[in-house]
Chains A and B, each alone.
Chain A
């Protein structure tokens, strides 16, 4: 089975999307390493378009991974999809499309519109849509890479990746799987995240109050 992974995060290889693809790759190749050939592309890094479209034409599954930006897809992902649409109208492809959409907010469900937009793209290019996972608390889960997937806050993610990889391997379709961190209530997430921003700002020599900076808006501009 040939699968193309498309890491479409604007952060490239340094992204949560790339990490989630890595988890998926591990899960897909764990039991049947020889049956699966994965080609991975990162849309912000240089790659050969000829190779990319050959791999797409030879694939049975395409897996997109991208973050949610302003409740939808980052602008560079939209440009990429539009370009792909142009090419796919004249080159054959029959792969099933899968998606991993992750967002910063707690609830995985907030990725729903990002997933809908990917489905709408599939309709435009006449490719079947398989399944998506919508991962909430993406930055948090992306920072827990060293913790095992079977336990703690990663548990839901581990289960979702396993189910998702099964659907892909069977080349079937399934309901969207939404992920929130396990054993990690929302109020705790908010506390931890708010602390995280302050810590990150401190690395830039800023204090918490600096983060509230505003532009003075002249009265007559309002």
Chain B
């Protein structure tokens, strides 16, 4: 499976994803999604599953089922938009709570043996060079924590540049 999370307006998402194959799972982030409350229930209460009972409680499972993870997000302050970030915050059940040293620093142990590739498409008209640098480092850090097999960060002025990519 190829998992896409994005924050695109509905009409743009329709244009970009209208002919996608059944191989893709597409999740649209929006302002109404309940944010993670930091309860750690997905580790110590209902392991592997977020405790907020809505349709985003299985983000960890979706990641585990993917060989490609694609993030399409507006870049704000060198980070993902809140609409995309809420989905990432609700994905931590993908990992185990337990710690170990990886790449010289403490990270989580892996719940699943499998891994996926990560491509982050950041868009925005007026990104500064510092924001671009922060965003690149952020994707690298995420890749390390999520044990990503390979990762790429791409910057776009307009997400419509992705036309025809996801079929």
A residues contacting B by CB (< 8 A) are 9-11, 15, 67, 69-76, 78-79, 81-82, 105-107, 109-110, 113, 116-121, 123-124, 186, 189-190, 193-194, 197, 200-201, 203-204, 206, 210-215, 217-218, 221-222
Complex Cα gap A116–B92 (Å):
22
CA distance A16 to B24 in the complex (A): 39
In the bound complex, residues from chain B placing their C-beta under 8 Å from that of A75 are 35-36, 82-83, 85-86, 88-89
Choose one: A71, A110, A118; the contact of B138 (CB below 8 Å).
A71
A-B contact list, 11 entries, CB within 8 Å: A69-B36, A70-B92, A71-B145, A105-B105, A116-B134, A120-B131, A206-B45, A214-B48, A214-B64, A214-B111, A221-B65
Q: How large is the interface on B (under 10, 10 to 19, 20 to 34, 35 or more residues)?
A: 35 or more
Cβ contacts under 8 Å, B114 to chain A: 217, 222
Count CB-based A-B contacts (< 8 Å).
Answer: 160
Q: How far is the CB of A114 from chain B (nearest CB, A)?
A: 9
Question: What chain A residues lie within 8 Å of B58 (beta carbons)?
Answer: 215
Residue A107 contacts which of B89, B91, B106, B131 (CB distance < 8 angstroms)? B106
Q: Is the interface of A mostly helix, strand, loop or mixed?
A: helix
* Main DSSP-derived SS at the B contact region: mixed
State A15–B106 Cα separation when bound (angstroms): 22
Contact B76 A9 (CB under 8 A): no
CB-based contact B134/A117 at 8 Å: yes
Residues A120 and B43 in contact, CB atoms below 8 Å apart: no
B121 at the interface (CB under 8 A from A): no
Q: For the complex, is B149 an interface residue (Cβ under 8 Å from A)? A: no
- Given contacts A200-B40, A222-B114, are A212 and B64 in contact (CB under 8 A)? no
Q: Are A10 and B106 in contact (CB under 8 A)?
A: no
- On whether the beta carbons of A217 and B64 are closer than 8 Å, the reply is yes
How far, in angstroms, from A221 to B3 measured CA to CA in the complex?
A: 11
For B29, give the chain A residue with the smallest CB separation.
A75
Interchain CA distance A204-B42 in the complex, whole Å: 12
A203 to B43, CA, bound (A): 13
